[in-house]
Amino acid sequence: MKQKKSIGIWTIPVLALFAVAALAGCEDEVDKSNRFTFTGELISTHLENNPQFSSFTTILSKAKIGKKASGSILKTLSTYGSYTCFAPQNEAVDSFLQKQYDLYLEGERTGITSPYLEDLTDSMATEIAKNHIIEMGYKTTDIYDGAFPMSTMNHRFTTVEWTTNEAGQVFPLLNNSARIINQDLEMENGYIQVIDAVLSPSNKLLPELIEAQQSFRIFCDAMKLTGVDSLLSVYDLDPDYDNTLTGPSLDSETSTSPYPKEKKQKYTVLIEPDALYNSNGIYNLEDLKAFAENWYGTEAQNDYKNDKNALRQFILYHVIDRQLLYSSSTGPGGFIMENYENQGYSSIVNLNQRFDSYEYYETMLPYTMIKVTKPYTNEELKTEIILNYSKEMGSVAINPEMKNHLNVVVDKATATKEKYPELTDFDQSALNGIIHTIDRILIYNEDEMAGNVLNERIRMDISALFPELTNNSVRWDLSSPGNVVTFIPNGFCKYFVVNNTDTEVFYFRPHQTYLGSYANYQGDEFIVEGKYDFQYRIPHVPAGDYEIRFGYPRGYYRGVCQFYVDGKIAGIPVDLRWSTDTDLIIGWVADTGLSEDEIKENDKAMKNRGYMKGPSSIILDKDSKGTMRDSEQSLRKIIGTYRLGKSDHWLRFKDVTEGGTGKLNQFDQDYIELVPTIVLSDPNKPEDTF
Here the CATH number for the domain that contains residue 48 is: 2.30.180.10
Query: Which amino acid is residue 250, in one-letter code?
Result: L
For residue 330, the model assigns a pLDDT of 53
Residues present in the chain in total: 690
- Is residue 545 domain-shared with residue 621, that is, in the same domain? yes
Q: Which of 151, 147, 153 is nearest to 172 (CA)?
A: 147
Q: Are 424 and 417 in contact (CB under 8 A)?
A: yes
For residue 224, the model assigns a pLDDT of 98
Angle at 573 between CA 567 and CA 577, to 5 degrees: 130
Count CB-CB contacts under 10 A for residue 289.
20
- Is residue 367 domain-shared with residue 414, that is, in the same domain? yes
- Is residue 613 domain-shared with residue 672, that is, in the same domain? yes
Whether 539 is covered by a domain: the verdict is: yes
Whether 513 is covered by a domain: the verdict is: yes
Q: Are 256 and 248 in contact (CB under 8 A)?
A: yes
- Quickly state the pLDDT bin for 420 (edges 50, 70, 90): very high
- Is residue 596 domain-shared with residue 469, that is, in the same domain? yes
pLDDT average, residue stretch 366-380: 92
DSSP string, 198-242: ------S-HHHHHHH-GGGHHHHHHHHHTTHHHHTT--BS-TT--
More confident residue, 308 or 688: 308
DSSP E strands, 39-177: 83-88, 133-134, 146-147, 159-164, 170-174
For residue 67, the model assigns a pLDDT of 61
CA 552 to chain centre: 22
pLDDT at 140 over 90: no
For residue 427, the model assigns a pLDDT of 87
DSSP E strands, 4-155: 83-88, 133-134, 146-147
- Is residue 645 domain-shared with residue 546, that is, in the same domain? yes
CA 484 to chain centre: 17
CB-facing half-sphere around the CA of 539: CA atoms within 13 A: 30
Share of the chain above pLDDT 70, in %: 90
More confident residue, 117 or 167: 117
pLDDT at 451 over 50: yes
- Is residue 417 domain-shared with residue 521, that is, in the same domain? no
For residue 324, the model assigns a pLDDT of 93
For residue 605, the model assigns a pLDDT of 97
Whether 256 is covered by a domain: the verdict is: no
- Is residue 416 domain-shared with residue 490, that is, in the same domain? no
What pLDDT, in 10s, does the model give residues 268-308? Answer: 999 999 999 999 999 999 999 999 999 999 999 999 999 99
More confident residue, 417 or 191: 191
- Is residue 537 domain-shared with residue 657, that is, in the same domain? yes
* β-strand partners of 269: 319, 435
How many domains, the chain?
3
Which residues 6+ apart lie within 8 Å of 666 measured at CB? 251, 527, 528, 529, 555, 557, 558, 559
Spell out the long-range contacts of 560-563 with Cβ–Cβ below 8 A and sequence spacing 24 or more.
560/655, 560/656, 560/657, 560/658, 560/660, 561/653, 561/654, 561/655, 561/656, 561/667, 562/653, 562/654, 562/656, 563/639, 563/651, 563/652, 563/653
pLDDT at 454 over 50: yes
Whether 191 is covered by a domain: the verdict is: yes
For residue 634, the model assigns a pLDDT of 92
For residue 470, the model assigns a pLDDT of 93
- Is residue 443 domain-shared with residue 496, that is, in the same domain? no
For residue 372, the model assigns a pLDDT of 96
User: For the whole model, what pTM was predicted?
Assistant: 0.88
Whether 45 is covered by a domain: the verdict is: yes
For residue 97, the model assigns a pLDDT of 96
- Quickly state the pLDDT bin for 687 (edges 50, 70, 90): confident
What pLDDT, in 10s, does the model give residues 149-186? Answer: 788 998 888 888 888 877 888 889 998 889 999 999 99
Whether 19 is covered by a domain: the verdict is: no
- Quickly state the pLDDT bin for 620 (edges 50, 70, 90): confident
Whether 245 is covered by a domain: the verdict is: no
Rg (C-alpha) for the chain, rounded Å, is: 26
Task: Choose one of 422, 453, 484: the last residue of a domain.
Answer: 453
- Quickly state the pLDDT bin for 660 (edges 50, 70, 90): low
pLDDT average, residue stretch 342-363: 86
Q: Which residues span the domain enclosing 150? A: 32-195
Whether 17 is covered by a domain: the verdict is: no
Mean pLDDT (the chain) is: 87
- Is residue 444 domain-shared with residue 485, that is, in the same domain? no
More confident residue, 251 or 671: 671
What pLDDT, in 10s, does the model give residues 493-541? Answer: 999 999 999 899 999 988 887 776 677 899 899 999 999 999 999 999 9
Q: Are 533 and 499 in contact (CB under 8 A)?
A: yes
Task: Choose one of 427, 453, 479: the last residue of a domain.
Answer: 453
- Quickly state the pLDDT bin for 383 (edges 50, 70, 90): confident
For residue 438, the model assigns a pLDDT of 98
Q: Where are the alpha helices (DSSP H) in 280-309?
A: 285-296
- Is residue 231 domain-shared with residue 142, that is, in the same domain? no
What CA–CA distance (Å, rounded) separates 618 from 358?
Answer: 13
pLDDT average, residue stretch 209-229: 97
Q: Are 322 and 361 in contact (CB under 8 A)?
A: yes
Spell out the long-range contacts of 425-429 with Cβ–Cβ below 8 A and sequence spacing 24 or more.
426/176, 426/213, 427/176, 427/177, 427/202, 427/209, 427/212, 427/213, 428/159, 428/176, 429/156, 429/157, 429/159, 429/175, 429/201, 429/202
For residue 483, the model assigns a pLDDT of 62
Spell out the long-range contacts of 147-152 with Cβ–Cβ below 8 A and sequence spacing 24 or more.
147/325, 147/327, 147/329, 147/330, 147/331, 147/332, 147/334, 148/84, 148/330, 149/18, 149/330, 149/331, 149/332, 149/478, 149/479, 150/331, 150/478, 150/479, 151/332, 151/473, 152/199
Letter string b/e over residues 603-614, b meaning 16 or more CB atoms within 10 A of that residue's CB: beebbeebbbbb
- Is residue 595 domain-shared with residue 448, that is, in the same domain? no
